Amino acid sequence: MAEAERIIGTPDTPEAAGAEPEQPDQPGQSEATRPRGKRRIAVLFAVATFAYLLDLGSKLLVVAKLEHHAPIEIIGDWLKFEAIRNAGAAFGFGEAFTVIFTVIAAAVIVVIARLARKLYSLPWAIALGLLLGGALGNLTDRIFRSPGIFEGAVVDFIAPKGFAVFNLADSAIVCGGILIVLLSFKGLDPDGTVHKG
């Protein structure tokens, strides 16, 4: 009874549908939950693809149209588009550790890919998709842009007044991270279960 109270049923779990709970290794589990799990994985990669392509497209446009040109004022002095090359982490921190940040981004991608196999929560799928898309966006810069492989400088262009310049990949990573913190605070796990406080 205590275990049943600890796990709150969701549309992704047999408990939510009024069915008897099944152990993950039981043969009957595959038909009951695997299709929903696959849909969550599809959402993760769809969000990641959208975030990645949006970031990649914006950077290509910035390099072609804005780099080596005067900044474009969007909201007076409060928000500008200004092309810079950033060898550091998000928001320009740690420029001396470009290779380390590249390795960290690659590790994040591997961890997310492994976690996706146990994913049955839509909010977690969205959060991880944002993280994956953002990490891939900046990793692409680090691999393919000058000065060299794994040392490439990331293209940043969003410049709020009094704040570091960043890009859409940074924004996706931050939004995904905030969503993960909120989901963890609420006790929602990637497998769809909710832990009471």
Looking at the annotation, which residues are catalytic?
A: 156, 170
Contact 165, 95 (CB under 8 A): no
With tokens 């969007």, the residue in question is 74
Contact 177, 170 (CB under 8 A): no
Strands 79-86 and 154-160: antiparallel
The backbone torsions φ and ψ at residue 137, rounded to the nearest 5 degrees and listed phi first, read: -60, -50
Helix then strand then coil, in percent of the chain rounded to 5, is 60, 10, 30
Alpha helix positions (H), the chain: 2-6, 29-65, 98-115, 122-144, 168-186
